Amino acid sequence: MFKVGLTGGIGSGKSTVADQLAALGAGVIDTDLLSRELTAPGAPILARIGSAFSDCLFPDGQLDRAALRARVFADAAARTRLESILHPPIRALMLERAAGLTTPYAVLVIPLLFETGQQTLMDRILVVDCPESVQIDRVCRRSGLSKAEVARIIAAQVPRAQRLAGADDIIDNGGGPEALAPQVERMHRRYLAA
Ligand code: ADP
Protein backbone atom coordinates (compact mmCIF):
# COMPACT_ATOMS: atom_id res chain seq x y z
CA MET A 1 0.00 0.00 0.00
CA PHE A 2 1.36 3.41 -1.02
CA LYS A 3 1.38 5.51 2.15
CA VAL A 4 1.10 9.29 2.25
CA GLY A 5 1.87 10.79 5.65
CA LEU A 6 -0.24 13.92 6.01
CA THR A 7 0.92 16.40 8.61
CA GLY A 8 0.90 20.10 9.48
CA GLY A 9 0.61 22.36 12.47
CA ILE A 10 -2.54 22.70 14.53
CA GLY A 11 -5.29 24.38 12.51
CA SER A 12 -3.33 24.20 9.26
CA GLY A 13 -6.13 22.24 7.59
CA LYS A 14 -5.06 18.57 7.88
CA SER A 15 -8.57 17.28 8.56
CA THR A 16 -10.03 19.43 5.80
CA VAL A 17 -7.48 18.10 3.28
CA ALA A 18 -7.92 14.52 4.51
CA ASP A 19 -11.73 14.78 4.08
CA GLN A 20 -11.29 16.07 0.55
CA LEU A 21 -8.82 13.31 -0.35
CA ALA A 22 -11.23 10.74 1.12
CA ALA A 23 -14.06 12.17 -1.00
CA LEU A 24 -11.82 11.69 -4.07
CA GLY A 25 -11.28 8.02 -3.16
CA ALA A 26 -8.22 7.89 -0.91
CA GLY A 27 -8.20 5.64 2.13
CA VAL A 28 -7.76 7.88 5.16
CA ILE A 29 -6.55 6.80 8.58
CA ASP A 30 -6.54 9.48 11.27
CA THR A 31 -4.16 8.68 14.12
CA ASP A 32 -6.09 10.99 16.48
CA LEU A 33 -9.11 8.72 15.99
CA LEU A 34 -6.96 5.61 16.51
CA SER A 35 -5.71 7.14 19.73
CA ARG A 36 -9.29 7.71 20.89
CA GLU A 37 -10.26 4.18 19.87
CA LEU A 38 -7.33 2.73 21.81
CA THR A 39 -8.21 4.79 24.89
CA ALA A 40 -11.99 4.25 24.81
CA PRO A 41 -13.63 3.01 28.00
CA GLY A 42 -12.56 -0.56 28.68
CA ALA A 43 -9.55 -0.52 26.34
CA PRO A 44 -6.48 -2.20 27.86
CA ILE A 45 -4.28 0.79 27.09
CA LEU A 46 -6.58 3.00 29.13
CA ALA A 47 -5.83 0.87 32.16
CA ARG A 48 -2.10 1.37 31.59
CA ILE A 49 -2.54 5.13 31.22
CA GLY A 50 -4.80 5.11 34.26
CA SER A 51 -2.18 3.47 36.43
CA ALA A 52 0.55 5.82 35.20
CA PHE A 53 -1.69 8.93 35.48
CA SER A 54 -4.26 8.11 38.15
CA ASP A 55 -4.84 11.82 38.76
CA CYS A 56 -6.21 12.19 35.19
CA LEU A 57 -9.21 9.87 35.50
CA PHE A 58 -12.81 10.86 36.17
CA PRO A 59 -14.43 9.06 39.13
CA ASP A 60 -16.11 6.63 36.69
CA GLY A 61 -12.70 5.58 35.38
CA GLN A 62 -12.96 7.46 32.04
CA LEU A 63 -9.90 9.35 30.88
CA ASP A 64 -10.00 13.08 31.64
CA ARG A 65 -8.35 14.08 28.37
CA ALA A 66 -8.19 17.78 29.25
CA ALA A 67 -6.41 17.02 32.54
CA LEU A 68 -4.02 14.63 30.83
CA ARG A 69 -3.29 17.17 28.09
CA ALA A 70 -2.57 19.87 30.67
CA ARG A 71 -0.36 17.50 32.63
CA VAL A 72 1.83 16.37 29.73
CA PHE A 73 1.98 19.88 28.34
CA ALA A 74 3.54 21.11 31.56
CA ASP A 75 5.78 18.10 32.26
CA ALA A 76 8.15 16.70 29.64
CA ALA A 77 8.84 13.49 31.57
CA ALA A 78 5.10 12.81 31.85
CA ARG A 79 4.77 13.43 28.14
CA THR A 80 7.50 10.92 27.33
CA ARG A 81 5.86 8.36 29.63
CA LEU A 82 2.47 8.82 27.95
CA GLU A 83 4.02 8.58 24.50
CA SER A 84 5.84 5.37 25.38
CA ILE A 85 2.48 3.82 26.31
CA LEU A 86 0.45 5.21 23.44
CA HIS A 87 2.62 5.51 20.38
CA PRO A 88 3.66 1.89 19.72
CA PRO A 89 0.07 0.55 19.65
CA ILE A 90 -1.15 3.51 17.57
CA ARG A 91 1.62 2.91 15.06
CA ALA A 92 0.89 -0.83 14.90
CA LEU A 93 -2.86 -0.28 14.42
CA MET A 94 -2.21 2.40 11.80
CA LEU A 95 -0.01 0.06 9.74
CA GLU A 96 -2.45 -2.83 10.16
CA ARG A 97 -5.38 -0.70 8.97
CA ALA A 98 -3.35 0.72 6.07
CA ALA A 99 -2.42 -2.79 4.94
CA GLY A 100 -6.11 -3.76 4.97
CA LEU A 101 -7.28 -0.89 2.75
CA THR A 102 -8.44 -1.58 -0.78
CA THR A 103 -8.16 2.05 -1.92
CA PRO A 104 -5.56 3.14 -4.51
CA TYR A 105 -3.42 4.66 -1.76
CA ALA A 106 -3.53 5.43 1.96
CA VAL A 107 -3.40 8.82 3.67
CA LEU A 108 -2.16 8.58 7.25
CA VAL A 109 -3.02 11.75 9.15
CA ILE A 110 -0.29 12.22 11.77
CA PRO A 111 -0.25 15.66 13.42
CA LEU A 112 3.13 15.00 15.09
CA LEU A 113 4.72 13.05 12.24
CA PHE A 114 8.10 14.79 12.48
CA GLU A 115 8.03 15.09 16.25
CA THR A 116 7.57 11.30 16.51
CA GLY A 117 10.05 10.41 13.76
CA GLN A 118 7.65 8.50 11.52
CA GLN A 119 9.01 9.84 8.24
CA THR A 120 10.61 6.56 7.21
CA LEU A 121 7.28 4.70 7.41
CA MET A 122 5.90 6.85 4.57
CA ASP A 123 6.31 6.78 0.81
CA ARG A 124 5.47 10.51 0.61
CA ILE A 125 5.16 13.23 3.19
CA LEU A 126 2.45 15.80 2.50
CA VAL A 127 2.56 18.96 4.59
CA VAL A 128 -0.44 21.27 4.84
CA ASP A 129 0.94 24.73 5.45
CA CYS A 130 -0.31 28.19 6.33
CA PRO A 131 1.08 31.20 8.21
CA GLU A 132 0.96 30.99 12.00
CA SER A 133 -1.39 33.98 12.19
CA VAL A 134 -3.90 32.00 10.08
CA GLN A 135 -3.46 28.90 12.27
CA ILE A 136 -4.18 31.01 15.35
CA ASP A 137 -7.29 32.62 13.83
CA ARG A 138 -8.71 29.28 12.73
CA VAL A 139 -8.06 27.44 15.95
CA CYS A 140 -9.41 30.30 18.09
CA ARG A 141 -12.59 30.34 16.02
CA ARG A 142 -12.95 26.55 16.15
CA SER A 143 -12.07 25.89 19.78
CA GLY A 144 -12.51 29.01 21.85
CA LEU A 145 -8.87 28.77 23.02
CA SER A 146 -7.15 32.14 23.48
CA LYS A 147 -4.57 33.40 21.01
CA ALA A 148 -1.86 32.93 23.65
CA GLU A 149 -2.90 29.30 24.26
CA VAL A 150 -2.81 28.50 20.55
CA ALA A 151 0.54 30.26 20.17
CA ARG A 152 1.91 28.08 22.99
CA ILE A 153 0.72 24.91 21.25
CA ILE A 154 2.31 26.07 17.99
CA ALA A 155 5.57 26.82 19.82
CA ALA A 156 5.61 23.26 21.20
CA GLN A 157 5.30 21.76 17.69
CA VAL A 158 8.12 21.40 15.18
CA PRO A 159 8.94 24.81 13.61
CA ARG A 160 7.20 25.57 10.34
CA ALA A 161 10.48 25.81 8.38
CA GLN A 162 11.59 22.39 9.60
CA ARG A 163 8.25 20.84 8.64
CA LEU A 164 8.42 22.37 5.19
CA ALA A 165 12.02 21.19 4.77
CA GLY A 166 10.89 17.61 5.46
CA ALA A 167 7.99 17.69 3.01
CA ASP A 168 7.88 15.84 -0.30
CA ASP A 169 4.68 17.70 -1.20
CA ILE A 170 3.18 20.90 0.18
CA ILE A 171 -0.37 22.18 0.10
CA ASP A 172 -0.61 25.92 0.71
CA ASN A 173 -3.72 26.44 2.81
CA GLY A 174 -3.14 30.09 3.56
CA GLY A 175 -6.00 31.05 1.26
CA GLY A 176 -9.67 30.25 1.12
CA PRO A 177 -11.43 26.98 0.27
CA GLU A 178 -11.49 27.89 -3.43
CA ALA A 179 -7.68 27.91 -3.46
CA LEU A 180 -7.44 24.64 -1.55
CA ALA A 181 -9.60 22.25 -3.59
CA PRO A 182 -7.56 22.41 -6.85
CA GLN A 183 -4.35 21.71 -4.94
CA VAL A 184 -5.93 18.70 -3.24
CA GLU A 185 -7.14 17.38 -6.60
CA ARG A 186 -3.65 17.79 -8.05
CA MET A 187 -2.10 15.84 -5.18
CA HIS A 188 -4.72 13.11 -5.54
CA ARG A 189 -3.90 12.69 -9.23
CA ARG A 190 -0.19 12.57 -8.40
CA TYR A 191 -0.71 9.83 -5.79
CA LEU A 192 -2.96 7.82 -8.11
CA ALA A 193 -0.15 7.82 -10.64
CA ALA A 194 2.54 6.87 -8.10
P1 ADP B 1 -6.21 20.67 11.47
O2 ADP B 1 -6.84 19.31 11.22
O3 ADP B 1 -4.89 20.83 10.80
O4 ADP B 1 -6.14 21.05 12.93
P5 ADP B 1 -8.66 21.66 10.29
O6 ADP B 1 -8.75 21.00 8.96
O7 ADP B 1 -9.52 21.16 11.39
O8 ADP B 1 -7.13 21.76 10.78
O9 ADP B 1 -8.91 23.21 10.04
C10 ADP B 1 -8.96 24.13 11.12
C11 ADP B 1 -10.19 25.02 10.98
O12 ADP B 1 -10.01 25.89 9.88
C13 ADP B 1 -11.46 24.24 10.73
O14 ADP B 1 -12.52 24.89 11.40
C15 ADP B 1 -11.62 24.32 9.21
O16 ADP B 1 -12.97 24.24 8.82
C17 ADP B 1 -11.03 25.68 8.90
N18 ADP B 1 -10.37 25.74 7.59
C19 ADP B 1 -9.52 24.85 7.05
N20 ADP B 1 -9.08 25.25 5.85
C21 ADP B 1 -9.67 26.45 5.60
C22 ADP B 1 -9.61 27.39 4.51
N23 ADP B 1 -8.84 27.18 3.43
N24 ADP B 1 -10.35 28.51 4.63
C25 ADP B 1 -11.08 28.75 5.73
N26 ADP B 1 -11.19 27.91 6.78
C27 ADP B 1 -10.49 26.77 6.73
Nearest-CA residue for ligand 1 atom 19 is: 13
Nearest-CA residue for ligand 1 atom 16 is: 16
How many residues are there in the chain?
194
| Residues having CB within 6 Å of any atom of ligand 1 | 8, 10-16, 138, 142, 173, 176-177, 180
Task: Determine the residue of 138, 140, 183 to mutate for testing ligand 1's pocket, defined as the one with the most ligand atoms within 8 A of the Cβ atom.
Answer: 138
pLDDT of residue 145: 92
pLDDT tens string 114-123: 999 999 999 9
pLDDT of residue 69: 87
**Integer Cα distance of 115 and 157 in angstroms:** 7
Nearest-CA residue for ligand 1 atom 10 is: 11
CB-CB contact of 167 with 14 (8 Å): no
What percent of the chain clears pLDDT 90, i.e. is strictly above it?
Answer: 85
Nearest-CA residue for ligand 1 atom 5 is: 13
**Integer Cα distance of 194 and 174 in angstroms:** 27
φ/ψ of residue 131, rounded to 5:
-60, 155
**What class has domain 3-43+96-193?**
alpha beta
Question: For the chain, which residues score pLDDT lower than 50?
Answer: none
What are the residue ranges spanned by the domains of the chain? 3-43+96-193
User: What is the CA(43)–ligand 1 centre distance, in A?
Assistant: 30
pLDDT of residue 42: 83
Nearest-CA residue for ligand 1 atom 4 is: 11
pLDDT of residue 96: 96
pLDDT tens string 11-42: 999 999 999 999 999 999 999 999 989 988 88
**Integer Cα distance of 36 and 3 in angstroms:** 22
Q: Enumerate the β-bridge partners of residue 127.
A: 7, 170
